[in-house]
Amino acid sequence: MQQSTTAEKFQKRTAEYFIEKAKQAKGKEKFLVALQKSRYISDALQNGLSFSDLKEQGFKFATV
């Protein structure tokens, strides 16, 4: 059987990964890193991770 090419394995990342990536980015690339981080959080939630899991990985969230 052929595997779907659209279904990618979800890779867990830490907040440190995005911090280091942002440090290396310059100018508009920093916005792309922020977009990737936002997309990662959305994908993580869709793949069964909770906000608590993300906090354990070093992500910080503002509460209102």
List, for residues 1-52, the tens digit of each pLDDT value.
444 444 468 889 999 999 999 999 999 999 999 999 999 999 999 999 999 9
Which residue, chain included where needed, has tokens 């997309």? 39
This prediction's pTM: 0.77
Looking at residue 63, what is its pLDDT?
Answer: 78
Cα(1)–Cα(49) distance, integer angstroms:
29
Distance from the Cα of residue 10 to its chain's centroid: 10
Helix locations, the chain, DSSP H: 15-24, 29-46, 51-56
